[in-house]
A and B are shown apart, each in its own frame.
Chain A
Amino acid sequence: DVKVTQSSRYLVKRTGEKVFLECVQDMDHENMFWYRQDPGLGLRLIYFSYDVKMKEKGDIPEGYSVSREKKERFSLILESASTNQTSMYLCASSLDQSSYEQYFGPGTRLTVT
């Protein structure tokens, strides 16, 4: 089975802190994605990556950056956390550009105070 893991289930940070959310997949998938999930808004794509060191902006990239130094790992970075970034963050991966099934991690509930 494909396993996508995220470094923390719950995280509490202060406004202005730099925050790193880590995601690792163990099935040699080419594609990785970061979403945020908010009630009434569904999931919105922040950034995605098709390959190592490659990244593309999603629908809501403002205030976020990403890093993909290794194929299995995709990091989401909040350069200066703000209270409006309090949310559930979901990581996902998919095999390659011909595959549309995405496999999701358990999510990180981030609270910024």
Chain B
Amino acid sequence: AQTVTQSQPEMSVQEAETVTLSCTYDTSESDYYLFWYKQPPSRQMILVIRQEAYKQQNATENRFSVNFQKAAKSFSLKISDSQLGDAAMYFCAYALIQGAQKLVFGQGTRLTINP
């Protein structure tokens, strides 16, 4: 079975600084997707960024970028120029490309932004 592990329950960063959230996963499959979802205090979860495993290039969305290391099964999220609105729970998630769309989530990391 696939598992996703986020080893940092909580992180904090100064506003305007850069922070990296860690995620590792375990799978025997070669084709899959990885995601970072953000859950602000209002609770509505939204997708931040997605990475296809077959792509070597790391995905980027504005201030958000990932460091995808397929061999190491590592998928970290880097947030540059942190803003107060980035404060949230961040979840790493995995899904197989073939078959069911089931997402497997990590435990989450609570990110605090210090003004």
- On A, residues with C-beta under 8 Å from B are 31, 33, 35, 40-45, 48, 56, 58, 88, 90, 92, 94, 97, 99-102, 104-107
Contacts and interface: CB of A to CB of B under 8 A. Distances in A.
B107 A104 contact: no
B9 A104 contact: no
A56 B101 CA distance: 12
A23 to B, nearest CB: 13
B33 to A, nearest CB: 5
Main secondary structure of the interface of A (DSSP, over half): strand
B103 interface: yes
Contact of B106 (A42, A88, A90, A104): A42
Given A40-B9, A43-B91, A56-B100, A104 B46 contact: yes
A31 B101 contact: yes
A88 B46 CA distance: 16
Contact of A43 (B42, B100, B105): B105
B43 A45 contact: no
Given A40-B107, A101-B50, A102-B47, A45 B102 contact: yes
A107 B47 CA distance: 16
Contacts of A100: 33, 35, 50, 95, 101
B44 interface: yes
B42 A106 contact: yes
Which 8 A-B residue pairings sit nearest by Cβ, starting from the closest? A104-B45, A42-B105, A43-B105, A42-B107, A107-B43, A106-B43, A101-B47, A106-B44
A18 B33 CA distance: 37
A97 B98 CA distance: 9
Interface string B82-115: 0000000001000100001111111110000000
A102 B108 contact: no
